[in-house]
Amino acid sequence: MKLPPRWWKAVDSERADTVDVKSGDAMHVAGADAAARIEGAAGAGEAAASGKGRNTKAAQCSLCIHACVLTKDKSGYCGARFFDGEALVSPFLGRFSSIAIDPIEKKPLYHWRPGTEIFSLGSLGCTMRCPFCQNHGIAQPERDEQRALSRLREIEPEALAATVLRHKLNSVAYTYNEPSLQAEYILAAAPLLRASDIATVLVSNGMYSPELLEELVPFVAAANIDVKTFNPRTYARLGGSLDTVKRTVARFHEGGVHVEATTLVVPGVSDSIEEFDQLTAWLASISPGIPLHISRYRPAHRFKAPPTPIPLLERFAALAKGRLKHVHIGNVPGLR
């Protein structure tokens, strides 16, 4: 599907040469630099809207922090958005690899409509590249677009509410992979869902551009945001930005979204007591009422370190409970 110039703009072919990091197909800006670059990329689709972007040699996406500059037939960092020479294209928009009915606690959301079930949708692609990703099969989609598409089921925004109501549910979660790659779909479906008293929920890494974040806030009822680590350099190595996830959590809370945070404690990545102490202090400074889920890592994808020691999780939980009202240990049967 060709995307309107909402979160992309046409750029000169020389523009790609000014971007200093290459990952995957697209040239993109990583880490803290991306937050500044995105300011110039967003809201600048006028050239494309006026037709000046036709047959241009490059396009800059402004959906997330990476601000990818794509040349013809290349995909962005996410693997889910492409440039066809005329417009940005999202072949997976409104198409889902995973459709399920889950307990709300699985998201995890323990303090928003507890005990209920939620209609859950996942697609393909991600705006980060964690080597320990537990959903890497869908987070990093196949290069063969047609093969990838063959795995997906399309649901029109207009049909989603009826589907959810047929299952006697009142909430939808975009989950399993990074939901912001379905931004156009989410924002088209959300008013229709709201008209049927169906809530929109995101389970996300929070790597949104400021403009996307502002558009999402009015329509999102609840969100679980992954806070991968509190070390900015480690965040950048994972393809993300600590400042960006902090902004997302704070803005959602300020905007009245029910927010819960999750930290996966990965040996050698996010198991520093000092950094976790900083994370809990920051979260408490927004609100001590924000629930924190401390999840146990297990070997996955390209990361083969042994599982997180349970005593370390318990130590983290005890520390967090000194500042936060709701602290939960996840991925450990019998502990919560």
Q: Which of 38-52, 131-145, 194-208 has the lowest mean pLDDT?
A: 38-52
**Among the three residues 89, 122, 157, which one is the final residue of a domain in this structure?**
89
Query: How many separate domains does the chain show?
Result: 2
Q: What is the mean pLDDT of residues 143-158?
A: 79
Q: For residue 269, what is the DSSP state?
A: T
Please write the tens of the pLDDT for every residue from 214-258.
Answer: 999 999 999 999 999 999 999 999 999 999 999 999 999 999 999
Answer yes or no: do 53 and 195 share one domain: no
**Among the three residues 89, 104, 133, which one is the final residue of a domain in this structure?**
89
Q: Which of 128-137, 185-194, 249-258, 307-316 has the lowest mean pLDDT?
A: 128-137
Please spell the DSSP secondary structure of 12-74, one letter per residue: -GGGGGG--EE-SSSEE--HHHHHHHHHHHTT-THHHHTTTTTT-SEEEE-SBTT--EEETT-
Instruction: Say if residues 329 and 336 touch (Cβ distance below 8 Å).
Output: yes
Answer yes or no: do 315 and 268 share one domain: yes
336 inside domain: no
2 inside domain: no
pLDDT of residue 145: 60
Answer yes or no: do 168 and 73 share one domain: no
**Among the three residues 43, 68, 89, which one is the final residue of a domain in this structure?**
89
CATH of the domain at 233: 3.20.20.70
Range of the domain at 324: 95-330
231 vs 227: CA distance, rounded Å:
10
Q: Which of 81-90, 110-119, 166-175, 232-241 has the lowest mean pLDDT?
A: 81-90
Answer yes or no: do 135 and 260 share one domain: yes
pLDDT confidence bin for 45, thresholds 50/70/90: very low
335 inside domain: no
321 inside domain: yes
Answer yes or no: do 163 and 239 share one domain: yes
Encode 169-195: b = buried (16+ Cβ within 10 Å), e = exposed: bbbbbbbbbbbbbbbbbbbbbbeebee
Answer yes or no: do 193 and 279 share one domain: yes
Position 29 pLDDT exceeds 60: no
pLDDT of residue 206: 98
Q: What is the mean pLDDT of residues 287-294?
A: 98
269 vs 306: CA distance, rounded Å:
13
Whole-number average pLDDT of the chain: 87
Residues 6+ apart with CB under 8 A from 90: 1, 3, 80, 81, 82, 181, 184
Answer yes or no: do 60 and 149 share one domain: no
